[in-house]
């Protein structure tokens, strides 16, 4: 039963990503259609379902951690995808292409609608964006996308927190 519920929740989230992505703009439509397809993979589907719909155990947490790593490594709309793992910039954020930064904003907006039941993501943004390790260019793209969809005051509040 948890797998069916999870399947429907992922489909709902994907629909809201399309709606949010069209409103955010600047994202290729094909990417909105294929957004989060890796969540249906063997590596992610079961661990995600058990993490969010079953009682937590250490085994479930480890499996989810591996599933999240799989997901983040395959989806450029996650900021962690853009943290260098080797070389001179190892451990530091690299700039995300603008369309991926905008897709990330659409993903956040859709997640708020899917899981928080509201299109208002102000509180989530103010609480979480300052914790993300974003390249300055990426942060500028995120601020622009948020401003484009009416979160100007939220951007100003986030900027104040980051000072």
Q: Which two tokens stand for residue 5?
A: 């519920």
Q: What is the predicted pLDDT for the residue at 50?
A: 96
Residue 40's closest CA among 9, 80, 1?
A: 9
pLDDT of residue 42: 97
Judging by beta carbons within 10 Å of its beta carbon (0-12, 13-18, 19+), is residue 83 exposed, middle or buried?
A: middle
- The answer to whether 27 and 21 are in contact (CB under 8 A) is yes
pLDDT at 44: 98
The tens digit of pLDDT for each residue in 8-60 reads: 999 999 999 999 999 999 999 999 999 999 999 999 999 999 999 898 999 99
pLDDT at 163: 80
In the predicted structure, residue 162 carries a pLDDT above the cut 90 = no
How many Cα atoms are found within 13 Å in the side-chain-facing hemisphere of 61? Answer: 3
Query: How confident is the model over 69-126, as pLDDT tens digits?
Result: 999 999 999 999 999 999 999 999 999 999 999 999 999 999 999 988 899 999 999 9
Task: State how far the Cα of 120 lies from the Cα of 151, in Å rounded to an integer.
Answer: 10
Segments making up each domain of the chain, as ranges:
1-36+75-163
**Model-wide pTM > 0.85:** yes
pLDDT digits (tens, 9 = 90+) for 132-154: 999 999 999 999 999 999 999 99
Tokens at residue 55, please? 């009682």
């Amino acid at each position: 039963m948890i797998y069916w519920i999870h399947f429907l929740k992922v489909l709902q989230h994907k629909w809201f990503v399309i709606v949010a992505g069209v409103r955010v703009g600047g994202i290729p439509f094909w990417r909105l259609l294929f957004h989060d397809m890796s969540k249906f993979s063997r590596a992610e589907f079961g661990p995600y379902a058990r993490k969010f719909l079953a009682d937590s155990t250490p085994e479930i947490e480890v499996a989810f951690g591996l599933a999240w790593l799989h997901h983040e490594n395959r989806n450029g709309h996650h900021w962690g995808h853009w943290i260098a793992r080797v070389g001179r910039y190892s451990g530091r954020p690299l700039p995300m292409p603008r369309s991926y930064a905008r897709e990330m904003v659409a993903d956040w907006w859709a997640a708020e609608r899917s899981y928080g039941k509201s299109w208002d993501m102000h509180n989530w943004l103010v609480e979480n964006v300052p914790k993300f390790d974003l390249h300055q260019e990426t942060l500028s793209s995120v601020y622009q996308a948020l401003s484009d969809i009416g979160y100007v005051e939220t951007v100003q509040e986030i900027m104040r927190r980051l000072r």
